[in-house]
Structure 1
Amino acid sequence: MKKLGTVALALLPLAAGAASAQELKIGVASEATSIDPHFHNVGQNNALRRHIFEGLVTTDQNQKLVPALAESWKAVDDTTWEFKLRPNVKFSNGTPFTATDFVYTLCRVPTVENSPSSFTVFTRGFETVETPDPLTVRIKTTTPQPLLPTNMTTIGILSAKVFGGENVKWGKTACENLGTVPKSSDFNSPEKAIGTGAYRLVEYTRGTHVVLERNEDYWGTKPEWKRVTMRPITSAGPRVAALLAGDVDLIENPPIQDFAKIKESGFTVAMGLSNRVIYIHLDSFAEPTPGVKGAEKNPFKDPRVRLALSKSINREAIVERIMGRVAQPAGELLPHPLFGTRKDAKPVAFDPDGAKKLLAEAGYPNGFELVLGSPNDRYINDEKVAQAVAQMFTRIGVKTTVDSMTASTFFGKRNKHEFSAYLAGWGADSGEMSNPLTALVMTPNKETGAGNTNYGRYSNKELDALVTEAKSTIDDKKREALLHKASDVLEKDAGIIPLHFEVTPWAFKKGLIYAPRVDQYTMATEVKSSK
């Protein structure tokens, strides 16, 4: 994998002072939807998961691969990867970690019910999984999988013994001796949420808090904080108020308009460019499509309409006026220099006259009416951005209203295809371009896992072929060239409308240090006191 440049940028100086290393209280902007490490492949879940359940591989703040439960890995040949596991690792209940736990975890992933975004996309295509000894895993794949080590950063390892799976046998179509396959709700119990991570679960109350305690037998560098409490405070105002009042020590995503007040009160704001793209997805499939009036057929099946809407958006104005420059206009689905991005990729130019011309050519000289779905508590200024986009659509004749709601409600409706157009975000956990291309715009395919978050059901066979080939190409230069071409195809077809990349802020009390992460994760293990 090509090495990445440093993308995370600490823009403001860090505060000095002393801090207690006993307890860290964090106000999170979005609550994890489950403790289950395999339930929902979404940022807030993945961040929480890493505290409790580790993968074979992990990533640093700039998404460079780092050994975790695997000390090393290598490609034996184009279709075989071998991982050497770390010795003397124990789960938080004292059980030794071995290759059997990895096999059990692979077998459990496809059993998760009602997953909004399944992890099976990372575990498919395995021909055989062998464990020659307790500290070696050898995976044979049906086709070359150059990103297999990267994919292993997403899979949190479970203890087979906790669920009676000590004698598990991997099978290509079905595993044997799985024991009691856990349901997602089982992990609400600390007795079931057993991982090898730096922390263990103590208490989980949905909507109130998650309490973690340091795993004193952790194999790696022990975290500074003995106890961590994460409180979901989804509204920005109360989140800032909690910080200023001392109810929490660190918060995610303080609103831009409060930066001055936060700093004047003696707190620190740190920011870094993220891998999260905010985008508009259009329904390119349903006939008729919900939320559209004044059109006899689904207008979004026509690439001219999709491009017209993209041209109507003044991305610079959104970044300047709505985001307060705490964002970067997006020309593709990941910021440069992450792997597979194009240095010369530019956002679609703001061209309302050209947009009107395209609409007329597509048969909509008078436009039509549209409802734009959006969360109002998931991304930075998400509802405000949606309102700005709606105004821009309206100016070219597509009269748009916004239907905003809490993230939990929004994702449920989105997943049922109840929007013709919606605003959402995607953070590439792998830090490379095949991730968002696969998830967001490849043709949905349950068997391969492609398009698992493509709720606009966009489909382009040329793009599918390019991404599929890229994901089977071991050579980095050839793979990157294929990803460049796929992004070019997507841009010309306006299959999705990138808006901007978030620049993620954190705010914290004097005496703490936190280096921004490209993946936007808030990791209690990386919060330090400035001693």
Structure 2
Amino acid sequence: MRLLPSSKFVRNNLLASALAALFVFAAPVASAQEFKLAMSSPPTSMDPHFYNLFPNLNVSDHMFETLVTMDADSKVIAGLAESWTLINNLTWEFKLRKGVKFHDGSEMTADDVAWSMERPSLIVGSPGKMDVYTKAIINKKVIDAHTIRFTTKEPYPLLLADLTSIYIVSRKATTGLSSDDFSSGKGMVGTGPYKFVKFQRDDRLEMDRNEAYWGKKPAWSKVTLRFIPNGSTRLAALLAGDVQAIENVPTPDLAKVRADPNISLYSKVSHRVIYLFPDTAREKSPFITDKDGKPLDKNPLQDQRVRAALSMAINRDAIRDRVMEGLSEPTNNLVPATLFGYNPALKVVKYDPEGAKKLLATAGYPNGFGLTLHTPNNRYVNDEKVAQTIAQMFSRIGVATKVEGLPMSIYSARGAKQEYSLGLLGWGAQTGEVSSPLRALAACDNPARGFGGFNWAKYCNPKMDVLLTQALNTVDDKARLKLLQDATAIVINDGGLIPLHQQVTTWATKKGIAYIPRTDERTHAYQFVQQ
């Protein structure tokens, strides 16, 4: 049978489609203009299969494409595959677009697709491998140059969503290359709207328009992505005209930006949840001390009551109003209410410092203890400021808390080695539903199944894993929804993860340039248009 959008899908996307159409018609004829865009986080690698990290994916989107992709509301739409058919419960057939060329002029074929599904598992040294999205595929069969079939071991309704994260690369151009080779341009042979020109680590990426692009050519002939982690510097670059657009407007400057007639501001609640991950696995944790700074032999974070007390000590509304300037939605879920798997029974934890103190006392810590909260300082909106605010809230209930902020490249490398007792992180539901954070962040560590790839605290609850596994193999949406909601409740009520808020993403442009805000937070130079 041919898989077609449901009527609900169509209704929910009429407005987004209408807006997109307006933007398309507003776009000028391809011109010789250069577009400069300031990004808030630099990529760690140019290899599109190296690391499942948002800044990497965001950059790869410009040069590489996937079989299926997500629209601005995180709904699956066609990409390099023009259609797909579920032949039986285990077999999917994809028809590729004909005439699609790689940047080197060679034709994209089903053989390249098969190779692209295999390559992520071969990557060496990745802190977060992308083969989590290919684990379900046990067989790849090339039918002809433009047809490929994937077989899964069990019914797997998330295959389409997973494939939105696997970029199609040229077998010829990438075979035998290391991930480090890509930074010099080797292997940077995609099908996307832009071609790689030059990469200067932590500074900029330069690209030229792909004049042979199979889809609608973008307006800009040259694009430069500037990597400017400091929010004030990023905004200053926009105001000075050094760039025409930026992502993640610094919250202290929101009022000024809104009042500036020469700047347009865009925003949208994203699918990214900001959360804390406590070390629940180790009897002795590296940054847990008594009030005098001496290491504790017993890790208090292993006690669910302590984790609940920490959650109760966080005033999420105050963080939204005073730190985030309204750019957050307090939550006790792992996805926003618009995504599949959201559990409405999980209400935002009420701020209750006195109740938190009582819980600590009941758990055997009437005088509290000490810990260090680790956080990125250049990845999420006000990440270190949020951590500092939480540290003050913890200290009020007797948990003396220090904060150590690190650049994301260093933070993620250490986090993958389980070096923290308590950390702050964010996760975007790339598959458009809660199974994404559940299997990556909360499932028991099991690389063979693609579980726990970003479970840096090694939290493990077998009951949750059973429900998640059932959900991943259940085609009926109603039954799968219940399984995912129950699995989420286990993790949250156990304090395996402590959600803080859904992040609201912002973009600002020079007047006359428009952008359609995206739930997935991605910033695509080719989707900025002149009005």
User: TM-score, normalised to structure 2's length?
Assistant: 0.92
Matched residue, 1:253: 248
Please give the alpha-carbon distance, in whole angstroms, between the structure 1 residues aligned to 2:73 and 2:27. 27
1:62 to 73, 86, 101: 73
1:482–1:413 Cα change, 3 Å: same
Please give the alpha-carbon distance, in whole angstroms, between the structure 2 residues aligned to 1:420 and 1:522. 32
What is the 5 A alignment of 1:260-279?
260-265=255-260, 266-279=262-275
1:286 aligns with 2:297: no
2:48 to 37, 45, 51: 37
Matched residue, 1:406: 407
Matched residue, 1:351: 352
Offset of residue 184 of structure 1 = 0.7
Offset of residue 81 of structure 1 = 1.2
Matched residue, 1:457: 458
Offset of residue 18 of structure 1 = 9.4
Matched residue, 1:172: none
Offset of residue 189 of structure 1 = 3.1
1:203–1:69 Cα change, 3 Å: same
Please give the alpha-carbon distance, in whole angstroms, between the structure 2 residues aligned to 1:510 and 1:127. 50
Matched residue, 2:162: 151
Q: State whether residues 377 and 405 of structure 2, in contact with CA within 8 Å, keep that contact through their aligned partners in structure 1.
A: yes
What is the 5 A alignment of 1:358-397?
358-397=359-398
Please give the alpha-carbon distance, in whole angstroms, between the structure 2 residues aligned to 1:134 and 1:476. 34
Query: What secondary structure is seen at the aligned counterpart in 1 of 2:154?
Result: coil
Please give the alpha-carbon distance, in whole angstroms, between the structure 2 residues aligned to 1:329 and 1:462. 27
Please give the alpha-carbon distance, in whole angstroms, between the structure 2 residues aligned to 1:114 and 1:97. 28
Q: State whether residues 51 and 127 of structure 2, in contact with CA within 8 Å, keep that contact through their aligned partners in structure 1.
A: yes
Q: State whether residues 17 and 511 of structure 1, in contact with CA within 8 Å, keep that contact through their aligned partners in structure 2.
A: no
Q: Tell me the C-alpha RMSD between the 2 structures.
A: 2.0
Amino acid aligned to 2:275: Y
Offset of residue 389 of structure 1 = 0.6
Offset of residue 343 of structure 1 = 3.6
Offset of residue 430 of structure 1 = 1.3
Offset of residue 368 of structure 1 = 0.6
The farther-off stretch of 355-364 and 215-224 is 355-364
What is the 5 A alignment of 1:5-154?
5=12, 22-154=33-165
Please give the alpha-carbon distance, in whole angstroms, between the structure 2 residues aligned to 1:379 and 1:468. 30
Q: State whether residues 244 and 262 of structure 1, in contact with CA within 8 Å, keep that contact through their aligned partners in structure 2.
A: no
Please give the alpha-carbon distance, in whole angstroms, between the structure 2 residues aligned to 1:60 and 1:528. 17
Offset of residue 319 of structure 1 = 0.5
- Per-residue CA deviations over 1:228-256 (Å, capped at 9, x if unaligned) read 10010011111111110000110111112
Ranked by relative contact order (alpha carbons within 8 Å, sequence separation 6 or more), the top structure is 1
Query: What secondary structure is seen at the aligned counterpart in 2 of 1:521?
Result: coil
Matched residue, 1:170: none
1:185 aligns with 2:180: yes
Please give the alpha-carbon distance, in whole angstroms, between the structure 2 residues aligned to 1:63 and 1:419. 32
Amino acid aligned to 2:434: M
Matched residue, 1:214: 209
Offset of residue 491 of structure 1 = 2.0
Query: What secondary structure is seen at the aligned counterpart in 1 of 2:61?
Result: helix
Give ranges in structure 1 of 5+ residues lacking alignment.
164-179
- Per-residue CA deviations over 1:270-302 (Å, capped at 9, x if unaligned) read 111101111011011123101100243111111
Please give the alpha-carbon distance, in whole angstroms, between the structure 2 residues aligned to 1:181 and 1:336. 44
Offset of residue 116 of structure 1 = 1.3
Please give the alpha-carbon distance, in whole angstroms, between the structure 2 residues aligned to 1:208 and 1:443. 37
Please give the alpha-carbon distance, in whole angstroms, between the structure 2 residues aligned to 1:246 and 1:263. 17
Q: State whether residues 100 and 214 of structure 2, in contact with CA within 8 Å, keep that contact through their aligned partners in structure 1.
A: yes
Please give the alpha-carbon distance, in whole angstroms, between the structure 2 residues aligned to 1:502 and 1:127. 36
Please give the alpha-carbon distance, in whole angstroms, between the structure 2 residues aligned to 1:190 and 1:67. 28
Offset of residue 21 of structure 1 = 5.9
What is the 5 A alignment of 1:275-354?
275-294=271-290, 295-354=296-355
1:260–1:17 Cα change, 3 Å: farther
Offset of residue 17 of structure 1 = 12
Please give the alpha-carbon distance, in whole angstroms, between the structure 1 residues aligned to 2:89 and 2:359. 46
Q: State whether residues 42 and 203 of structure 2, in contact with CA within 8 Å, keep that contact through their aligned partners in structure 1.
A: no
Offset of residue 458 of structure 1 = 0.6
Please give the alpha-carbon distance, in whole angstroms, between the structure 2 residues aligned to 1:215 and 1:483. 41
Amino acid aligned to 2:37: I
Query: What secondary structure is seen at the aligned counterpart in 1 of 2:114?
Result: helix
Offset of residue 456 of structure 1 = 0.9
Q: Give the aligned length.
A: 509
- Per-residue CA deviations over 1:438-485 (Å, capped at 9, x if unaligned) read 111011112112010010111101111111110111111111111011
Offset of residue 221 of structure 1 = 1.0
Q: State whether residues 17 and 510 of structure 1, in contact with CA within 8 Å, keep that contact through their aligned partners in structure 2.
A: no
Please give the alpha-carbon distance, in whole angstroms, between the structure 2 residues aligned to 1:228 and 1:450. 37
Please give the alpha-carbon distance, in whole angstroms, between the structure 2 residues aligned to 1:155 and 1:28. 22
Q: State whether residues 328 and 501 of structure 2, in contact with CA within 8 Å, keep that contact through their aligned partners in structure 1.
A: yes
Give ranges in structure 2 of 5+ residues lacking alignment.
291-295
Larger helix proportion of the pair = 2
Query: What secondary structure is seen at the aligned counterpart in 1 of 2:447?
Result: coil
